Every structure is written in structure tokens, then in C-alpha cells.
Amino acid sequence: MIRLIIIADDFTGALDTGVQFSKKGISTLVTTNMNIELENIKDQIEVLVFDTESRHDTKNIAFYKVEKLVKRFKNIKNCYFYKKTDSTLRGNISGELAGFIEGLGINEISFIPALPQNGRTTKDGYHYVNDILLENSIFAKDPLNPTRESYIPKIINFQNDFECEIYKKSNFFDFTDIVSSEKKINIFDCVSNKDLIEIGNLLKGKNKLKYTSGCAGFAEILSDLIEFNKEKISLKISNDKLLMVCGSVNQVSLEQTKYAKNNGYKFYTLSPYEELSTDFINSENYKKLLDNISQNIDKNKRFLIESLDSYEKIKLTQSFASKNNISLDNLGIKIADNIGYLVKDIIDNIKLKNLVVFGGDTLIGIMSKLECEGIIPLDEILPGVVIARVISKIDYYNINIITKAGGFGNVDVINNIEKFIDKKKE
């Protein structure tokens, strides 16, 4: 029976939120199918996580997707609702919170965007990354989805008109159980996991836990505050061949792939033509590349495919797209599509069982080619690094997939992933 519905705007975000429940033995399903019917969901699923793929949409389209989705499920008895947002406030925060409120037919939600264990904190209504104002962090330089504002009420009220009330730690207990008669968002300061727990207990005590929003940090608190059935999930990995795929443009991911290359990973960097041309997939050069990568994985057990190795490569790719009449708005989707075909064909070639993917767009491109019907999160290797099982119509696509949101993890994150695989090997 569904006890909690979570709405995320990208696949990696959906997974790193869903895993907060599955790692505690709570049966969780992540899906991109927004038309899924409740009768088609197994009875034991208690947490249903939707990826609306709306991070790069316009504000209005993002609003519509969220509003339409939650409206379908708002009458489920004893069900909680959580609007998952990016921990660095990228995407359509304004439109999606508005869609969440309108679709559920409510006036008030509480917003707790902090993820203290990864350096995302909120103070006096301003959001920080490692004690640097968000607008001055590396996320303000994201080439596809920059965040240029730190003050949360201003982000929320971009083209909206909500009352925003900031609750600092010193006035948490001024929070009232009276329901607002106006559209209102309660924003909570938070600098530690202890603060997250305190906020969760406060909302539960005031009977205001049913409709909340934030990132994976507060989601983990919900896993202890809502009554769930819990059953230990076992995980075994049958072989240690590993394909790492990076389509993220985040500087953190670029440093992590550079580390992998400097520590023994064979690799291939796709050219703009290989990333974007439909002709390449049907060419002899594509077949040669496919065979070469497949043989490398068989021989070396580790291989990296990357869409770029520097910010300069982004300019080359954009230039190629412009010369070939490819819309820059759809650049990420087109690249993810070509990478998806390549990864699928590698799996077909060597029956690969373990895949590591950096970047939400890349992940969705791969999942679409694997005829993915859903993903079952299994465990959290590190904050933001999740291992899950693909659920596909085709049995040998039911692989282990390890995902990482672009800005998460230390430079040597691949070492942690490999140690985890070694520990779980049968």
C-alpha cells in the first residue's frame, strides 16, 4: 500500500531520495511513467517516486507536470506527499512548488532544502554550499542549469506570489499548527542533521508532516517519522566488470573522471559528431568503437565513456550543433540519446551487469534504451551515490546501476564504488 509519494525533477535525484527508504528495508519504486495506475503497482510498494524529467522544462510545463501528477493521487487514504528539489536549488523550484500546492488543493507546505552531510545548509533563508553562498558557488557556473540566487524566498517567488516565512533555529517553536488561509511556504533554516530531526519532530507534532518539500536530506527523516513496514533487502553482485559513463557537465564530475583515468581506467571521449549525429550510430566506425570498448571491458574489467573532458569541449559541441541545425535547448537530451544507444549495444555484446552513470540526463537516455519500466533502489554507497536494480521487459537488462548526481562525491569516489562492489561480490 502506498504510504508516500515523492515527486523529483530528474532521475538521479529520484534515486538518491528513494534510496533513503529502501536502505532501511522500505519497499520503494522509482519510475518515469507518470500515467502508471495504482492497480499495476505491487501491493508491497510503500514509497512511489516519480521522475517528471522537468528540470530543463519551462516553468509553466514543469508546473503542469507536477500539478497533473499529484492531482491523480491526492485522494489516496493516509498518504504523505513530498516534493523533492535539487540540493543546490537548480531547476524549476518556483513552478514545481506552485504545481505541488495547486494539484493537491492545499494552501501550505514546509520547505527544508538543506543537505548538511554534503555541505548544503540554509541560514536566515539563504542557501549555502560548503559555507559559500549558492550564487558564488560552482553551481552558479553550471553551463546548462546555473543557480544565480541564494535567497530562497526570491527563488520561490520567481513569477509566483506566495507568502514565505523563514523559521530560524531560534524561532522553530513559533511554528503554529494553525493552517494558513493564504498560499504559504514555511522555509526552515538547517545546518546539521540534528536540525533536520528537530524540524521533522516539530512538523509531526503540529500535524503538518503530510505535505513537505526538500532534498534527500529531509526525505531520510521522513523514513523514520512515517509508519512503514521494513524488511531487509539483500544485495549480491555476480561479476566485477564495470562500465563508467559520464555525461555530467559539472566540474566535480570532471575531476572524478580525471581521477579514474589517472588511476588505471581505459577510456574513450566522444567527439561532437559521435555525441550528436544519428548517422554515426549506423556507421562502420560505430561498430568498430563498440567492439573496441567491449573487448576493453572484457580484458581490463574497467572502462570509462565520457561526453566531455573539459569546458572547452562544451563550446566545440555547441558549435557543431549550431552548424548542423541542432537545437541547443535539446543538446543534453540528444547527447544522452546517442550514449544510450552505445551503452545498450555494449550490454548486448558482453551481457554487462554493472553500470556507473554520472548525470541525470545521461541516466534517462540509457534507461529509455533498456526499456526500463522502473528502478528499485537497493543501497546508498555514499550520500548521493546509489546502487539500484533496473526493471526491464528484457531480462538481461535487469542490471545493477550505480548513479551519482553531478555535484556529489569526493574526487576519488570511484574507489568507494569499487570497494563496495568487491564487498558485495558473490
Per-position DSSP letters for 56-102, written without gaps between them? TS-HHHHHHHHHHHHHHHTT-TT-EEEEE--TT--S-HHHHHHHHHH
Confidence of residue 31 (pLDDT cuts 50, 70, 90): very high
CA 337: distance to chain centroid?
18
Residue pair 366/340 in contact (Cβ under 8 Å)? The answer is yes
Residue 44 has pLDDT above 80, yes or no: yes
Residue 159 has pLDDT above 80, yes or no: no
What would the mean pLDDT of 389-412 be, rounded to a whole number?
A: 89
Percentage of residues of the chain with pLDDT beyond 90: 69
What would the mean pLDDT of 134-148 be, rounded to a whole number?
A: 85
Report the mean per-residue pLDDT for the chain: 91
pLDDT at 62: 95
Residue pair 270/306 in contact (Cβ under 8 Å)? The answer is yes
Residue 8 has pLDDT above 90, yes or no: yes
pLDDT tens digits along 340-352: 999 999 999 999 9
pTM of the model: 0.86
Range in 153-167, 214-228, 306-320 the model is least confident about = 306-320
Residue 64 has pLDDT above 90, yes or no: yes
Residue 328 has pLDDT above 80, yes or no: no
pLDDT at 313: 85
pLDDT at 195: 97
Domains and CATH numbers, the chain: 4-225 (3.40.50.10840), 242-424 (3.40.980.20)
What would the mean pLDDT of 60-81 be, rounded to a whole number?
A: 95
What would the mean pLDDT of 293-299 be, rounded to a whole number?
A: 95
pLDDT at 63: 96
Residue pair 122/114 in contact (Cβ under 8 Å)? The answer is yes
CA 18: distance to chain centroid?
10
Residue 181 has pLDDT above 80, yes or no: yes
pLDDT at 15: 92
* 79 φψ region: left (φ > 0), alpha (ψ -120 to 50), beta (else): beta
C-alpha–C-alpha distance, residues 175 and 173, integer Å: 5
pLDDT at 36: 87
What would the mean pLDDT of 3-15 be, rounded to a whole number?
A: 94
What would the mean pLDDT of 249-259 be, rounded to a whole number?
A: 89
Q: Show Cβ contacts of residue 3 under 8 Å, excluding neighbours closer than 6 positions.
A: 46, 47, 78, 79, 80, 226, 227, 228
What would the mean pLDDT of 196-222 be, rounded to a whole number?
A: 96
Percentage of residues of the chain with pLDDT beyond 70: 99
> In the structure grid, which three cell numbers stand for residue 404, read together?
551519482
What is the CB neighbour count within 10 angstroms for residue 277?
18
pLDDT tens digits along 103-129: 999 999 999 999 999 999 999 999 999
Confidence of residue 426 (pLDDT cuts 50, 70, 90): low
